[in-house]
Structure 1
Amino acid sequence: MSDLRVEVAVVGAGLMGAATAWELSRRGVSVALVEAFDPGHRHGSSHGTSRIVRRAYADPFYVRLTARAMERWAEAEADTGTTLLRSTGGLDHGRARDPVGLAGLMLQEGVPHELLSAAEAQARWPGMRFDGPVLFHPQAGVLDADAAVAAWVRRVGELGGVVLRRTRVLGIEPAGDGVLLRTDGPAIAADRVVVAAGPWLPELAPALGVPVGLPPLTVTQQQVFHFRLRDPGAAWPTFVHKGQLQLFGLPSGADGGSRPAFKVAQHDGGTPTTASGRDGVVDPASRERVAGYVAEFLPGLDPEPVAEASCLYTTTPTEDFVLDRVGPVVVVSPCSGHGAKFAALVGVLAADLVLGRGSAEPRFALAAAAVW
């Protein structure tokens, strides 16, 4: 017996789950969006006001995917009446980033860009330092993830969907042609279920009865730091710098406090953990590395952090995403530290899988399949 009957249940109201529930609701599908905490919580990977949106990838597959994602973000803003993206332009530099090679790929894919010398880039952004060629592309900026989740969850409710807050899914089991979700609240009967559990996916998959072979998933705790701009009026682009370390930076938004700040973090070097076992303590070694980088390459920032936080990455061996369907179960895990910019598009791709419209992108396919 169930307490609630819907066409699709979505487990997890982070960026990916909220986007999927919103897209399904827009298509007239009845949805229950089930969140173990409150939407917008700080325990996982979807919180914060500053995430990079960029076109620059070394892989043409993702360059093309960013073009589709940008179109979907415009649709999301129009439908929700909420500004979600802010354009800043983006920089890529460092020997391991290969700005010259990236410029060639941008040219091939028709993405506007400039290739600058270190001196030219430093003249344009005097608060930054560069150690070689610099790629600039204007189609980059900042995503407000908090605003996106809140807007999508709101729209799900407005479109007739059910949002269950502070409700934990305890198990999923076959029920006729669909599934039954057992929770610590109502039992939910659905034709399909979307599992968008983020860093909880590795530990929840067996209990959720997902009948698939997931690829190896590694969860790490990462740190982000916010530094005060010496010139509050300076307009800085986002950046990715890969040398001995892999770092990125972008305007902080509200995460950095009331005064203008810039977020800088290390993409690599996270600490292995689990979603339920993380300690949330910022690694002092990471703080020291990032502050040292700021002192050397970002003299326009005060190198003493004014705010800091931890978050979680869920990473596949290839850093590709997981987005596939087996029977009534769709697994949505666009992860590996670079998925947020694609969330509006992921909602569309996941909804198509739920409704049987097309097949999964081979690079995102599950490792193995089973039939219930």
Structure 2
Amino acid sequence: MYDAIVIGAGLTGSSAAWALSRRGRSVLLLEANDLNHTLGSSHGTSRIFRTALASPLYAAMAGRAQRLWTELEDESGTGLLRYTGALDFGEARRPGELHRAVVANNVACELLSPEAAQERWPFFRFPTQVLFHPQAGVVNPEAAIRAMLSVATGRYGAEVRTNTRVLKAREDSDGVHVETDGGTFRARSLIVAAGPWLPEILPEILTEAPQPEVRVTEQNVFHFRQSRAGDEWPVFVYKGHAQLFGLPSGGDAGPEPAIKVGRHDPGKRVTPSHRDGVPTEENRELITRFVEEWLPGLEPRSIRGDACLYTTTSNDDFILDRIGRTVVASPCSGQGAKFMPAVGEAIADLATENAPTEEAFALMAHAQL
């Protein structure tokens, strides 16, 4: 019998496997596809990392995650975080209010006028004040998964089974029995970290529990070449007529330096198995207009477009809760990657330490009415 079985080897499940195994727990990680597949939400080479957040709850979690990212880098010998700093601007982003909240959370930041910000970053234009915070940058999700699983399996003895589909799970006094197309396994606890497959798989596992209200949407990002390869671009969040974000593309757009600009607003409703994966012309045009108006340091013709999946709750809070012997983990809503090592620790606490559930993350807080 394992101490824990984890369903899903994306960022959430891999973080859980790493956190549990380094505590000396025996772990089996089950993945229905190959590792680092492109069907979910954890593929690619760049996601935003930031600690400047308005919510004290999430700011504290980001601080813990930052320390744990460093520990993972040390354990794995792999560089995962690259600091660029971050900018927040746009009328609806309310940089002044955000500045006050971030200062209250004891995170270093600076509020700049549009002119001062443009002098520092001449490849931008700014319509409002700008919040700058240095403890931000990009994290490589595919490299992070490899690092977590390399340490979990190589140093701590965790097991990973890919291309293994979970058919059903049931709980009894002996533990949890997980039936897959490759056999049945038993554990003291079960972690469901299924990402966009959560609405499909959870009702088959927690048949009596309230089901959370989550929506799976397809979001669009487009990559634009930098006009000057030597410019050091920070990550950014803009909120005005739409909410957009940008960050260095990493290796996602080829070898030349590029910036990925995406739309955070809710996209079209899909499921992982029923989606076309094609960015919309509406989003291409909206983002291209934004680049032309506010990002003069980019060539205004996109070189690539991608579609990715968000799994979002009604208020964008995470789901991290335990029902019986089963932990449900959906730390998503388009903001989860930065928190992942801390999420793994929270999952391990729920699974093995009987830790209390954070009220905002409780399953009942997101239950369908």
Q: Please, what TM-score do these two structures have when normalized by structure 1? A: 0.95
Give the AA of the match of 2:109: H
Distance 1:113 1:165 in 2: 43
Please identify, of 360-369 and 86-95, the stretch whose mean Cα deviation from structure 2 is larger.
Answer: 360-369
Corresponding position of 1:99? 95
1:274 and 2:258 aligned: no
Give the AA of the match of 1:137: H
State how 1:45-194 maps to structure 2 within 5 Å: 45-158=41-154, 159-194=156-191
Distance 1:213 1:75 in 2: 36
Q: How big is the alpha-carbon RMSD for the aligned residues of Structure 1 and Structure 2?
A: 1.3
String of CA shifts for 1:253-287, please: whole Å, max 9, x gaps. Answer: 00121000001000004111112212212212111
Of the candidates 27, 36, 45, which is equivalent to residue 23 of structure 2?
A: 27
**Residue 97 and residue 171 in structure 1: after superposition, are their counterparts in 2 closer, same or farther (change >3 A)?**
same
Corresponding position of 1:315? 312
Corresponding position of 1:6? 2
SS of alignment partner, residue 217 of structure 2: strand
1:39 and 2:35 aligned: yes
> Which blocks of at least 5 consecutive residues in structure 1 are unaligned?
none
Please identify, of 203-212 and 243-252, the stretch whose mean Cα deviation from structure 2 is larger.
Answer: 203-212
String of CA shifts for 1:61-96, please: whole Å, max 9, x gaps. Answer: 222221121111111111221111000000000111
Distance 1:18 1:120 in 2: 42
| Cα distance, 1:58 vs structure 2 | 2.6
Distance 1:210 1:66 in 2: 33
| Cα distance, 1:211 vs structure 2 | 4.4
Q: Which runs of 4+ in 1 moved over 3 A?
A: none
User: How many residue pairs get matched?
Assistant: 365
| Cα distance, 1:303 vs structure 2 | 1.4
Give the AA of the match of 2:182: G
| Cα distance, 1:156 vs structure 2 | 2.2
2:54 touches 2:102 (CA, 8 Å); kept in 1? no
State how 1:171-250 maps to structure 2 within 5 Å: 171-209=168-206, 211-250=208-247
Distance 1:59 1:251 in 2: 25
| Cα distance, 1:360 vs structure 2 | 1.1
| Cα distance, 1:168 vs structure 2 | 0.5
1:257 and 2:258 aligned: no
Please identify, of 75-84 and 341-350, the stretch whose mean Cα deviation from structure 2 is larger.
Answer: 75-84
Distance 1:249 1:119 in 2: 20
Please identify, of 225-234 and 284-293, the stretch whose mean Cα deviation from structure 2 is larger.
Answer: 284-293
| Cα distance, 1:189 vs structure 2 | 1.0
Distance 2:215 2:134 in 1: 33
| Cα distance, 1:210 vs structure 2 | 5.4
SS of alignment partner, residue 239 of structure 1: strand
Corresponding position of 2:285? 288
| Cα distance, 1:212 vs structure 2 | 2.4
**Residue 264 and residue 333 in structure 1: after superposition, are their counterparts in 2 closer, same or farther (change >3 A)?**
same
Identity of aligned residues (%): 50
Give the AA of the match of 1:317: S
SS of alignment partner, residue 280 of structure 1: coil
**Residue 368 and residue 247 in structure 1: after superposition, are their counterparts in 2 closer, same or farther (change >3 A)?**
closer
Q: Please, what TM-score do these two structures have when normalized by structure 2? A: 0.96
Distance 1:334 1:363 in 2: 12
Distance 2:241 2:264 in 1: 12
1:358 and 2:355 aligned: yes
Corresponding position of 1:302? 299
Give the AA of the match of 2:303: V
2:220 touches 2:283 (CA, 8 Å); kept in 1? yes
